[in-house]
Amino acid sequence: MHNVLEVKNLSFGYTKETLLFENFSISLKKGEIKAIVGASGVGKSTLFELILNNVKASSGEIFTASCSQVFQDPYSSFHPSYTLLNQIKDVAPLDDLEHYLSAMNLDYQLLLKLPHELSGGQLQRASILRAMLMKSELLLLDEPTSALDNVIQLEVMHMLMKNIKSMGMLLITHDLELAKWCADEIILL
């Protein structure tokens, strides 16, 4: 099985004196969940920005298969003046929409609203819904369940884990217990 993510000898720092990453490597295959765990400010979200090529590494190589992501702040993930459904249709087929709506306890009517009309938890589930509908081989999850209550968090994580065969997941979390529960490997930063 081929890697859906390959990071080799990555080095990066916002200044030359202070490196967040030095010769950092990670690989991820379909069917795997790896968790990046660490305190605020250690570079967890920066790692995703490097993987997505939004920030340039000082050195190293990064390969990603088709990729979708779920950001920590769902309000920054959607344009404020378009309905959620329009934004989802722009990037993903709606083939499995009913399945994922049910799995995440979301009502179709919510997708007809603008982002500011939803709670943070509803919007975060819509962000996860969009990422799942994109059917990417790599799913980058930055604190995907932090805005959810415990019951919904468990339901969403179960749904993600049921779909792991078709993708690899890289999860950023500060929640070590969540990482221990779902991840095949934990990388502490």
| Residue whose C-alpha is closest to residue 34's, from 189, 184, 148 | 184
Mean pLDDT of the chain: 90
Looking at residue 151, its pLDDT comes to: 81
| Residue whose C-alpha is closest to residue 57's, from 104, 7, 131 | 7
Q: Alpha helix locations (H) across 82-188?
A: 84-91, 97-103, 120-133, 150-162, 176-182
* Count of domains for the chain: 1
Query: How buried is residue 133: exposed, middle or buried, by Cβ count under 10 Å (0-12/13-18/19+)?
Result: buried
pLDDT band at 128 (very low <50, low <70, confident <90, very high): very high
Q: Going by DSSP bridges, is the β-strand pair 3-12/185-188 parallel, antiparallel, or unpaired? A: unpaired
pLDDT band at 75 (very low <50, low <70, confident <90, very high): confident
Domain that holds residue 21: 3-188
Looking at residue 153, its pLDDT comes to: 83
Looking at residue 132, its pLDDT comes to: 93
How many angstroms separate the Cα of 119 from the Cα of each of 40, 81, 124? 24, 16, 9
- pTM for this structure? 0.90
- Give the Cβ contact number of residue 105 at 10 Å: 13
Looking at residue 165, its pLDDT comes to: 85
* Cβ-Cβ contacts under 8 Å for 139 (sequence gap 6 or more): 67, 68, 69, 70, 131, 132, 160, 167, 168, 169, 170
How far apart CA 59 and CA 155 sit, in angstroms, is 39
Average pLDDT over residues 118-137: 92
Question: What CATH number is attached to the domain comprising 23?
Answer: 3.40.50.300
Looking at residue 14, its pLDDT comes to: 86
Looking at residue 1, its pLDDT comes to: 59
Question: Mind listing the pLDDT tens digit for each residue in 25-62?
Answer: 999 999 999 999 988 888 888 999 999 999 999 999 99
What's the token pair of residue 21? 């990453």
Of 43 and 90, more confident = 90
Looking at residue 86, its pLDDT comes to: 95
